[in-house]
Structure 1
Amino acid sequence: MLAGNLDEWLPHFRGLEERMADAVEAAWPICIKPLQSKKNAMTHEDHITEHLVQALIRTKRVPGRIIYQYTLLAEDAGGNVSAPSNIDFVLTVGDDEDVYLACECKRLNVPYKTGVRGLVSEYVDEGLMRFVTGQYSSGLPLAMMLGYVMNAKTDIARRGVGRIMALRSTAIGLQSERDAAVVSGRPLRFHTTHACMSGHVIEVAHTLLAWR
């Protein structure tokens, strides 16, 4: 666990996240290149994330050690230990297994034969919500989410996520929402803060990656 006030750690985590976001942007074209020939509705986020993590490692731009499918252990009142969930990948911070920069990944705007499915509810309910409940990043000040925008329309994906977050604002403890400046050709970025069920506040940095 982090020692001291979370607010004192927040600038450090923000710095790590910004470097990770830059690394993700550099790795993204490398990630999707071998997947282009089989890109379709069945190209799921786990497979994309496997390629992304490998590309991140190869760029040598990751500010630390990256671990794919980071296992979280849980112990019940009787002392029984289980592994109920895995984070898509984390950047380790120091030697404490409970201190890391988590990254959860979800697909958005997936084209099917019957039309495009936004999957924005899944992004919020099955991704973002895991930070709010404390399932991921418990007691930590900041986390990351990546949205793989399968039809490249990041602006539409952003509006869809924003709409669902507004509808779920109480459930996700939404306190603030801030969009970064839009730069043509670069990933779309925004930040949200949430009151977690444990009582502390977590900041989540979102990056939407266009698959062209």
Structure 2
Amino acid sequence: MIVGDTTDWDEFFAANGVPAILALVLDAWVNLTPPAAGEREDVTSVRLYAAMVKRQDRQAHPFLIRYQDVEIDIDIAKETGRKDIVFFPCHDGDIYFCLEAKRLNARVSGVMKSMADEYVKEGMQRFVDGKYSRHVHHGGMLGYVLDSDIPRAMQNVLDNIRARHAQLGMDSPGVWTESPFRPADSHAKESVHRRSHTSVRFRIQHQFVAGLVGANRSHLLGGRPDSGVGE
């Protein structure tokens, strides 16, 4: 068991936690019935959560998974948000990996919308502001690309990141890099952020998954056989 300062958990997340979590997410996603173009993200997330719990190997994945865990500011006794899917490696409620899920390229009231601004403003920004993952230095964004056009969805998100890079605590011009945990996956990226309450940079893992019905979705995930996602 790791004890002491919360930064002591950084090595666990970087070496074991994040790679195992991403592999479990993608393994469950490939076998999930794909969401419809207008499916709400909370419905998709519940189904993904259930699929992950069913597939979780307790020996290989030593963490507790919770859906819509409530974040409470104990200083003011107020709820500050609900994290979509959370992975706890220990009994300390401040130590977790939060996976915030957002729809992209979705049909809303009959109109196709990119929803990249919600991904950035209502997802990434909450990590940067310390509303989520305040005491750890790793978090994740999961983009449900409902029309399966992942390159377009990623470009829309990146355009929004560049437009808000200052608010996101990113160096200009606001770019992401390949994921150190899934370097061969073109649909996985990492962004690095400054936060006002700590000098340690916060790292967000971005994973984009396709929602195309009737397609080989393992190919659309950008996975490889040795990355936990079959082709």
Whichever residue aligns with residue 12 of structure 2, its letter is: H
SS of structure 2 residue aligned to 1:96 = coil
- Contact 1:173-1:194 at 8 Å conserved across structures: yes
Q: Which aligned pairs between 1:1-212 and structure 2 lie closer than 5 A?
A: 3-4=4-5, 6=7, 9-14=9-14, 15-31=16-32, 33=33, 39-41=36-38, 43-61=39-57, 62-76=61-75, 81-112=77-108, 115-175=111-171, 177-180=176-179, 181=183, 183=185, 188-200=187-199, 201-212=201-212
The alpha-carbon distance between structure 1 residues 98 and 69, as it changes in their structure 2 partners (threshold 3 A), is same
Secondary structure of 1:26's aligned partner: helix
**Paired residue secondary structure (1:94):** coil
The residue type equivalent to 1:20 in the other structure is I
Q: Which amino acid aligns with 2:163?
A: L
Cα distance in 2, alignment partners of residues 139 and 104 from structure 1: 16
How many angstroms does 1:199 deviate by? 2.9
Aligned length: 199
**Contact 1:19–1:63 (8 Å) recurs in 2:** no
C-alpha distance in 1, partners of 2:6/2:97? 17
- Asked if structure 1 preserves the Cα contact closer than 8 Å seen for 2:176 and 2:192, the reply is yes
17-26 or 125-134, which deviates more: 17-26
The whole-number CA distance in structure 2 between the counterparts of 1:12 and 1:144 is: 15
3-state SS, counterpart of residue 198 of structure 2: coil
Identity, % of aligned positions: 24
Cα distance, 1:27 vs structure 2: 0.5
SS in 1 for 2:192: strand
Give the whole-Å Cα distance in 2 for the aligned partners of 1:162 and 1:121: 10
Off by >6 Å, runs of 4+ in structure 1:
none
Structure 1 unaligned blocks of 5 or more: none
Deviations 1:145-186 (A, max 9, x none): 100000001111111111110110000001462124455xxx
Post-superposition shift, 1:5? 7.2
Distance in 1, Cα, partners of 2:46 & 2:27: 16
Contact 1:89/1:104 (8 A) holds in 2: yes
Residue 10 of structure 1 aligns with an amino acid whose one-letter code is D
Closer/same/farther in 2, CA of residues 98 and 112 from structure 1, 3 Å limit = closer
TM-score by length of 1: 0.85
Q: C-alpha distance in 2, partners of 1:46/1:154?
A: 20
Paired residue secondary structure (1:170): coil
Tell which deviates more after alignment, 144-153 or 84-93.
Answer: 84-93
Gaps of 5+ in 2: 213-231
Aligned-residue RMSD, C-alpha: 2.1
Contact 2:86 2:99 in 1 (8 A): yes
